Structures are given as structure tokens and as C-alpha cells.
Structure 1
Amino acid sequence: MLDFMDYIQQAFYHSSRWNIDNSYSGLNATAQSILEFPIPKGLRLNVSSLGTPHFSSSYTISLAGTSAGPVTGQLSYLYSSLPLTVPSRSSTIPLSAIVRGYRHLRPLRAPDNPRDWEVWHRGRRVDERDTLLYGRIFLPTSRLEALWLRRTTPTQMLQVRGVSDASLPNGGSLLGVVHNDHGKYSTEYLFSSDSALLGARTLYNVGHDPRQKQDDSSEELMPTRAGTTAASTAPPSLFSMGVEVYYGLLNKSGGMSTGLRFTTLPAYLAFPYTMTLTLNPLMGNLSSTYAVKAGKYLALSSRFDFNFYSYESGVLVGCELWRLRKRAPLERINDAVKTSETPPSATMEDFVNPAMDKAAEEEQAGGGLLRSLGHGFPSQAPADEDVVGVLKARVDQDWKIGLLWEGRFKELLCSVGASLDLKRREKIFAGVGLEVQYSN
């Protein structure tokens, strides 16, 4: 589950119209959301607030018994020049916005016209670029982390991250990244003060170019920053390929990796799925993932890793299951009793059968399972007011199991998880934790 500050950062990306999925760094995001979910350790309490649309704060205390001490804490502050009007109360935040589940990728869109970003007043440009500032301090170690984001153009975003910690070489590090998203392709250029590392990434999407206007009956209108609309086609799938190279000037070493991704889009009328293949030729590592939305409430994923040099391999499988609260039969009976509309011979089946009959009618009409699971991604997620929680599980070839439940309890957002190692009979439970979040 995302913490409150990560949730606000996601809102900044969305409000500034930045596509975080169109990048090489997010190539495996779908499978990672299902297989690599973090499991809390010990007890963690988080209290946050979105005081104004421009400013938010968060305070965290942890009882985990780490190397930093039995009790640790965090103080976080965030400022956004772009007003962020999103649900901030923990009782109203949609679970689909903070639970890292199956990632539904949207069709590519063309970048905004630079003229749409211009604001003129009395012959002078007065528009400003969206900026985000974020800082976090860890107690009692006094470790400091900072983030600066700035949308410079419709196709570019600058990012600078810094860490100050006495335990790190040179007392800290600095990372700068230039992101460019042109719709059809994206590039990233980065520099890190650690070993004077230089790197470059690129992702190319095969097929439809969203920057080219086409006259097609399947075109749909999408809103732009200026409030106008732009036409874009709706392909059923997306195939992407990318590469990453990096080199350390100080340690004289480098590396590279390449990857492929195939994913379905909303126009695809069957089960949504995503496949990826990544290769690091210098290290000999090959990794393939497969994730599928098997139902409205169920997603499955697997990953296979292999090394050409050592012949070592690994398998990891996982799933997520959304659980809803059952309310229809009893609530309908109670409502009928209160209004004295229940016939004397009515039974529980009389209230359940209408829904079954409706499903049967849809099946006969040609809808059926594919109709309920495959037409657009809004139907793939249950209504947030009906969600009780999400159960996640994973297991690898060494019988190391991870379990996590994320959901809402009263006014709180809760995460309960456990790590198990079935091969260690003397200590099967490797860790158990509870995380509670409250925000207003």
C-alpha cells in the first residue's frame, strides 16, 4: 500500500498529465505490483494531512527494533505549486488509488501543444511551471531525503533526488534525471554522484503513433491541459521495447539491459494480460514475467529468472484477491420488511434469483463472462465503497511465502503481513507486521 506522501506524488503526476508508465524504468511495474509487495515489519503508525491543496505533511512512528533503535520515526513535508484536489481522508481515499495491484495501462496520448501551456496577461507571459518539493527526515539517525520535480515542457520533466547520511560515502549522494515523453517513445538521462555514474534509457512503442492525427471511426476524444480535446485511436494492445546503458566514470565499469513488453489496452475484449522479457547480457540474467487479470476481483502473476553463466534459476508466483462486503440479500430483505412489501411466501432465494436471472440474460445476449471482464478497465475494478480489502500472496521455489492483507477498518487504512519460510522448521515465521495509516 502506498503511503500518504507517495499517494500525493501520484496525484501530482496525474494532475500535471505525466504518464509514469511510458518509461523503461516502469517496464515490469505490472508484475512487480503483484509479486514484490512490501511486507510491514513490527508496528508502524502514520498520521498525515493535506492541509491545503498545495501543502501536506506526514508523521510516522515505527516499533520494529531495527539497527537504528527500537523506536524510529519520520517527518515528511510536501509542497506542490499545482493545486492537488484529491480525496485526503483515509475514510474516503479509494483503495484502488493506494493499493499496488494489477497495472492497467492506458493508450498512448500525444503530448500537449506547447501553446496550450502559455498564459498571457497584457502582452506578457505569466504562466509558471508545475513544481513539487518533498523532504523527509528519519529519527533518530537524522538521515535526510529530498526530492525536487519540475515540469519544464509538455514533453519533459526534471527530477533531482538527494540523500544526506553520515553512514554513506562522502556523507550522501545526489541523483539527477531528465525525463522526456514524446508519446511514441520516451528517453531518460541520469547522473549520480555515486561513482560519477552516467546512464541513459529509452523506450519505443511499436505501431500507432499518437502524434499523428488519423480519421478513424474508432477515434475517441481525450481532454488536454487547456480544456480542449484531441483525437486518438484506440488500439487493442501495445508492444514496447527498450534499452538501458550506464557507466561509472570513477570505477570504470558499466552495464546494460534490454527489455520487451506486450500488454493489452482497454479496446481488447478479453482477459487483460501483460508479458515482459528483460535481458542483461553482461551479467547473463534473463527474466520473464506474465500477469493476467483472471477476473474482476482476481489477478495472477509469475516470474521466471535464469542465468546463462551459473545456470541458476528461480520461480516466483503470486496473486491478489479483492474481497467485497456482502450486502445485497440481507439488506434487500430488511428494506422489504421495513416497507411491508415482502410477500408472506418470500424466501431468501426470491431475492437472490433476480440477479442470477439478470446474469443469465446477459449470457444469452452474448455478454457472459467476457462481457463482464473484458470491456474496458473501469469494469475490471469493483466499486470502492464495496471493497473490504485486498489479499496478496506469493511463493518462490524455496518455499518462502509472503502474505499481505490491505484494507480499510473504520476510519483507518491497515496493512497486515507475514513472511514464512517453510524450510526453517525451527522458525517458520520470518516476520510479522502491522501498518496503520490515518489522514484527514
Structure 2
Amino acid sequence: MLGFMDYVQKSFYRATKWDEDNSYANLNATARALLDFQTPKGLKLNISSLSSPNFATSYGLASLGVVDGSVSYLYSSRALDNVLNSGDVELKDAIFGYRDLKEITKPDAPRDWEIWQGGVRVDRRDTLLYGRMYLPASTLEALYLRRLAPTRQLKISAVSNSRLPNGGTILALLQQDNGKYSSEYLYSTDVALIGIRGLYNFGFDPRKALPHNSGNAAVDSRKIAGRFSAGAEVYWGLLNKSGGASTGFRYTTLPSNTGSPLTMTLTVNPIIGHFQATYAIKAGRGAVFCSRYDFNIYSYESDLVLGCEIWRRKQQQQQQTTKSETGAEENWQSNGFTTGGEKEDDVTGVLKARITQNFNIGLLWEGRFKQLLFSIGSNIDLKRRDQPFRTVGVEIQYNS
């Protein structure tokens, strides 16, 4: 289940027109959401509130042998009117699942962000501040987000804990997104790591599209059924004098695709000889299947993970037809459904499952009961006949 503060951060991205999926770091986001989902442990309660369009708070309490919790605060200079409470939010926005990528669009021009009053420029760049304190461990997390330009964003995250080397770490990311391509420049205080990564989208370039009434370029762009992307990253640790590199490829269908939505990726790390291939497909409206295969050319070790996601939807009432006194036919529907379609938020729950080649099974059921969001999950090890259930947990969220 997506935490409330993560949901607010995604709402900030939408409000400021930032495409987080157009990044090399999120190349395998679909496979991670379908296969690497976290199952709750013990009992966990989260109570959150957006007290104003600019300020949010969240309190968490967990019980797993010992009782611990967390306190979170978030501030956004941009009013987040698109944040909904736990009773109204669509489950597809509150759950990690298949990523339906949208078509890349032309970034705003810098002058579109300018606001002038009396000959003086008064516009400011949108900023998000977030902090979380874990108790009783006294671990502190912090996040600073700032939109520098329509195509540029600065992201700084930090963790403070006495058990970490040097008492904590800071990661700074300067992100650039031009639609057609994106790049990131990073620095981490952990071993003084520096790096760069980028992603390039082949095919249509939205920056060169003509207006709809001036030609066919913009219209033809909507007919593109899929997008092929390629990216790479290089990083180097200044203190330990070691580095790494990887490259990756992704093909995904777009909303204009008339067939089954699917996503395929291949990532390669030539230094350690690691290959990873993923495949995810939507089989109809209520099911997603995913597989991931890892292989190392040096050790010949391999790993296979299979997973699925089954969506439970509301029972759609059959269309009924009645005749009025004048003999004219009148169609009617109930429960908010329309003729020939479904209500956009007709999902009541989702079941996730995965199994590895070592017969480790993960099960997770996420849904909503009245105004509460809940997650119930377990990890099962079939090789341990004496104690197959490794973890069992329940997580409940209430957001107002």
C-alpha cells in the first residue's frame, strides 16, 4: 500500500507536471511493483491528515514484538487540491501496481512560468519539504524537492542515524526531463559517490509537434501504440575508488494501443556480468501477470520470479430498459455505472501473489473497508514444513 506521504508526493508531481516514469531509475518500476511488494509484519496503524492544501501530517504505530512508531510532517508551496482522503481516493492511485505510462508531452516554456505584477516578476518555484522521525530509534528522514524550471528539478534526501557510518548520509539529485530524453546527476556522501544516468525515448519528439490545427504531426503522435526507450548509468566512489555501470531497454504500450497493455525490459550490468529481463502483461481488465529472470554470466547463477495481480471490481448491474407511457424507451443505470462502461473507480480490492524458484510465496490483499485502507499479507516458505508462515501482518490507513 502506498503510504500517505508518498501519495502526497505523487500528487505534487502531478500538480507540477513532472513525469516520474520518464527516468532511468524507474525503468523497472512495473516489475518491482508486481514482484517486490512488501507484506506487512505484525499490526501497523497509520493516521494521516491534509490539514490544509499546503500542509500534511502522519502518525504511525507498529507492533512487532516491540512497539514503535513514527511522526511525519510535509509542506508544499503548491496547493495540493488533488489529494483525496482514504474514503474517496481511487485504489489504483493508492496501490503499487502496473504502470500505465502516458505519452510524453512537450514541456512548458520557461516564460509560461513567469508571473509579473506591476512590472516586477513575482513567481516562485514550487517546493516540497518532508520530514519523518522514527521512535524510539530516533532515526530521521528528510526530503527537499524544488522545481527549478519546467524541465528541471532538484531532489535532496537525507537519513540521520547514529548506527550509520558518519551518522547518516545525504543524496542529491539534479533531474532534467525534456520529454524526448531525461538525465540525472547524483552525489551521495556515502563513499563520496558521483554518477550520471539518462534515458532516451525513440520515435516521436513532442517538442517538434505542430498544433492540432496546423498539420498532422500532433494528430499522428496519438496513433503510436508503443514506445521504446534506452538508458544507461555510470557511477564512481571517490573514497573507495570503485565504480559501476549499467544499461537498460524498455518497450511499453501506450494508451492508444488497442491490444493488451504490456511492458518488457532488459537491463545489463557488464562489470558484474548480470542480466535481468522482465515481462508484464495485462490480461483483460482484472488481471496482470509478470515474470522476471536474472542471470549472471560469471557464476551461472540464475533466479526466476513469477507474479500476478488480480483486481476485484464491483458487480455491474445489467442494463434495464423500460417503456414510458408514450412508448419511448428509457435506459437507466444504478450504482454510478454508465451504459457500456464502468465507473472509473469500480475497484474494491486487489490480490497480489508471487513465487520464486526457491518456493518462497508472497501474498497480499489490499482494499478498502468504508473509510479505511487495509493491507493483509504473508510470506510463506514451502521448504520449511515445520513453520511455513514466515511473516503475517495487517496494515490499516486512515487519511482525512
TM-score with structure 1 setting the length = 0.84
**Contact 1:150–1:158 (8 Å) recurs in 2:** yes
Letter in 1 for 2:355: V
Contact preservation (8 Å) 2:281, 2:289: yes
Match of 2:312 among 303, 311, 323: 323
Partner of 1:122 in structure 2? 118
In the alignment, residue 11 of structure 2 is paired with which amino acid?
A
Q: 2:272 aligns with which of 251, 258, 283?
A: 283
* Aligned residue in 1 for 2:25: 25
Give the direction of change, closer, same or farther, for the CA distance of 1:157–1:128 in structure 2 (3 Å limit): same
1:426 to 382, 386, 391: 386
Segments of 5+ residues of structure 1 without an aligned counterpart are 221-230, 337-350, 352-357, 360-378
- For residue 357 of structure 2, what is the amino acid of its counterpart? Q
The letter for the 2-side match of 1:391 is L
Task: Report deviation, 1:82.
Answer: 0.2
Contact 1:109 1:232 in 2 (8 A): no
Distance 2:44 2:77 in 1: 30
Provide Cα deviations, 1:182-214, integer angstroms capped at 9, x if missing partner. 111100000000000001001011111111024
1:72: which partner in 2?
68
Question: 1:309 aligned to 298, 313, 337, which one?
Answer: 298
The residue type equivalent to 1:430 in the other structure is: R
TM-score by length of 2: 0.92
Aligned partner of 1:260 in structure 2 is 249
Find the aligned partners of 1:20 and 1:175 in 2 and give their Cα distance.
Answer: 17
Amino acid at match of 2:59: Y
The residue aligned with 2:397 is 437
Q: Percent identity?
A: 52
After superposition, the C-alpha distances for 1:266-325 in whole angstroms (9 at most, x for unaligned) are: 111111111000000011110000000111111111001000000011110101011023
1:234 CA displacement: 4.5
Distance apart, 1:32 and its partner CA:
1.4
Task: Check conservation: 2:222, 2:256, Cα contact below 8 A.
Answer: no
SS of aligned partner of 1:383: coil
Q: Find 1:141's aligned residue among 125, 137, 143.
A: 137
What residue ranges of structure 2 are gaps of 5+ in the alignment?
Answer: 323-332, 334-338
Native 8 Å contact 1:2 1:100 kept in 2: yes
Partner of 1:104: 100
Partner of 2:218: 219
2:268 partner letter: L
Where is the helix percentage greater, Structure 1 or Structure 2? 1
Q: State the number of aligned residues.
A: 384
**What SS class does the counterpart of residue 14 from structure 2 fall into?**
helix
| Conserved 8 A contact 1:219-1:234 | no
Equivalent positions of 1:33-52 (< 5 A) are 33-52=33-52
Counterpart residue identity of residue 99, structure 1: I
SS in 2 for 1:219: helix
Q: Distance in 2 between matches of 1:152 and 1:262?
A: 30
Match of 2:190 in 1: 194
Equivalent residue for 1:404?
A: 364
In the TM superposition, what whole-angstrom CA distance separates every residue of 1:214-271 from its partner, at most 9, and x where no partner exists?
A: 4554735xxxxxxxxxx96542110000001100000000000100001111111111
Aligned amino acid, residue 48 of structure 1: S
How do 1:139-218 residues align onto structure 2 when only pairs under 5 Å count? 139-214=135-210, 216-217=215-216
1:432 aligned partner, one-letter code:
V
* Aligned-pair CA distance for 1:101: 1.2
Distance 1:394 1:383, change over 3 A: farther
Letter in 1 for 2:54: H
Query: Displacement, 1:410?
Result: 1.6
Q: Counterpart of 2:326?
A: none
1:319-365 CA-to-partner distances (Å, cap 9, x unmatched) read: 10110232626xx89x99xxxxxxxxxxxxxx9xxxxxx98xxxxxx
Write the letter of the residue equivalent to 1:185. Y
CA contact (8 A) 2:78 2:126 kept: yes
Separation of aligned partners in 1, 2:10 and 2:225: 26
Q: How far apart are 1:4 and its partner, in Å?
A: 0.6
Q: Give the conservation status (yes or no) of the 8 Å contact 1:324–1:389.
A: yes
One-letter amino acid of the counterpart of residue 254, structure 1:
G
Letter in 2 for 1:323: R
The whole-number CA distance in structure 2 between the counterparts of 1:281 and 1:133 is: 38
Q: Distance in 1 between matches of 2:74 and 2:382?
A: 42
Alpha-carbon displacement from aligned partner over 1:126-162 (angstroms, at most 9, x marks no partner)? 0000000000000001100100000000110001111
- Paired amino acid for 2:369: F
Kept in 2: contact 1:196–1:250 (CA 8 A): yes
CA contact (8 A) 1:218 1:233 kept: no
Offset of residue 396 of structure 1: 0.8
